[in-house]
């Protein structure tokens, strides 16, 4: 793959080992034995660093000055170790609103239902697509997903979480049938990914999660407070919620396309202990393939739409809470006024 010496791009993937510094006002990424890559900071929105990527003090200043978000990931890209973001007090209002609305158990249940139904819809759309394109055994999986979807209406929160898990297991069972030889996929295993398909899923899910976290923070949302995913220290629960409807179109269908169209081979992976990861020589190319899919499938617009939908839903919920408070005030005895 030809390496450019200077690029203007909104998103940069820097694969270590290497170092990011500043030369003549531009960010420069250097790797031993490779031609330096110059990045225009005016164009950048996000930088993803994989493995040992050093960042100089001058580079940190430039990144902060231009509001560029940086995520530091493991060499395989399957886990985010930390992020560099800027905090703005002007966004506090929406976070306060989110906390107020999410304190209402029924509102939390409602949003969880929206997320689970949307995720199942994405699974059904993909299953029907594969059925139309030569997978006759998809019928039982489609029937099962439709039945689970019906049960979600008005279901309690814990039941919704169970339905989401059952639907996902049903979908992954179908995914294993869609993949062609030599690829095999029996079950979802995350830490560590025990086969190449799981390694691809983990990598791309991490990319979607980090993009969702960044989008939530840019909107001023509290990324750690979710609905379907309850609060857990260190987990961006809201981002986990919002990425659920994106998993199948942004990741799962990409994995199927990449593998079945021979865009990747088993030789592109290496095994480390019980886990698999992409070979370093293949890593950059596969990142590029996923970026192309993300753009072609218009997932950025989908993500923006979900963030906007949540913000609108929160404001509607706040209005409902305010109206309830007003009605309660009108119903109080005179001595309370």
Bridge partners of residue 6, in order along the sequence: 38
37-51, 84-98, 192-206 — which one is most confidently predicted on average? 192-206
* CATH H-level superfamily of 6-73: CRISPR-associated endonuclease Cas1, N-terminal domain (3.100.10.20)
Q: Do domains 6-73 and 91-321 have the same CATH topology?
A: no
- Cα gap 162→144, rounded to integer Å: 14
DSSP 16: S
Assigned fold of 91-321: 1.20.120
User: Buried b vs exposed e over 69-88: b needs ≥16 C-beta within 10 Å?
Assistant: bbbbbebbbbebeebebeee
Question: If you write DSSP's letter for every residue of 125-184 in order, what string do you get?
Answer: HHHHHHHHTT-GGGHHHHHHHHHHHHHHTT--HHHHHHHHHHHHHHHHHHHHHHSPTT--
pLDDT digits (tens, 9 = 90+) for 271-292: 988 889 999 899 989 999 999 9
Kindly indicate the confidence band of residue 330, based on its pLDDT and cuts at 50, 70 and 90. Answer: very low
Question: Residue 43: what are its φ and ψ, rounded to 5°?
Answer: -95, -20
Cβ neighbours of residue 170 closer than 8 Å, sequence gap 6 or more = 123, 141, 144, 145, 148
Residue spans of the domains in the chain: they are: 6-73, 91-321
Give pLDDT, residue 266: 93
pLDDT digits (tens, 9 = 90+) for 103-115: 999 999 999 999 9
pLDDT digits (tens, 9 = 90+) for 35-63: 888 888 888 888 888 888 999 999 989 88
- Cα gap 181→327, rounded to integer Å: 64
Q: Are 116 and 164 contacting, i.e. CB atoms less than 8 angstroms apart?
A: yes
Give pLDDT, residue 90: 61
Note if the pTM is more than 0.75.
yes
């Amino acid at each position: 793959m030809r390496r450019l010496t200077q690029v203007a791009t909104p998103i940069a993937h820097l694969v270590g080992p290497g170092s990011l510094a500043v030369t003549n006002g531009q960010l420069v990424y250097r790797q031993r034995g490779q031609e330096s890559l110059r990045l225009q900071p005016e164009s950048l929105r996000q930088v993803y660093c994989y493995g040992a990527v050093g960042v100089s003090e001058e580079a940190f200043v430039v990144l902060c000055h231009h509001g560029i978000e940086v995520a530091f990931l493991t060499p395989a890209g399957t886990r985010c170790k930390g992020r560099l973001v800027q905090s703005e007090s002007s966004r506090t209002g929406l976070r306060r609103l989110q906390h107020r609305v999410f304190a209402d158990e029924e509102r939390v249940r409602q949003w969880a239902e929206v997320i689970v139904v949307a995720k199942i819809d994405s699974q059904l759309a993909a299953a029907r697509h594969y059925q139309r394109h030569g997978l006759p055994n998809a019928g039982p999986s489609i029937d099962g997903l439709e039945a689970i979807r019906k049960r979600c209406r008005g279901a309690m929160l814990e039941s919704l979480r169970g339905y989401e898990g059952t639907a996902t297991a049903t979908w992954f069972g179908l995914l294993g049938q869609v993949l062609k030889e030599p690829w095999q996929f029996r079950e979802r295993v995350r830490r560590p990914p025990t086969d190449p398909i799981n390694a691809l899923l983990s990598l791309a899910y991490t990319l979607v999660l980090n993009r969702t976290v960044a989008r939530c923070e840019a909107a001023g949302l509290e990324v750690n407070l979710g609905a379907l995913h309850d609060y857990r220290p260190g987990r961006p629960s809201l981002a986990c919620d919002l990425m659920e409807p994106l998993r199948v179109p942004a990741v799962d269908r990409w994995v199927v396309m990449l593998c079945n169209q021979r865009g990747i081979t088993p030789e592109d992976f290496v095994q480390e202990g019980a886990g698999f990861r992409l070979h370093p020589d293949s890593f950059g190319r596969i990142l590029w393939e996923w970026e192309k899919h993300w753009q072609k499938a218009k997932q950025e617009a989908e993500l923006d739409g979900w963030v906007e939908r949540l913000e609108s839903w929160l404001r509607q919920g706040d209005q409902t809470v305010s109206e309830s408070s007003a009605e309660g005030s009108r119903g109080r005895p005179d001595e309370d006024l």
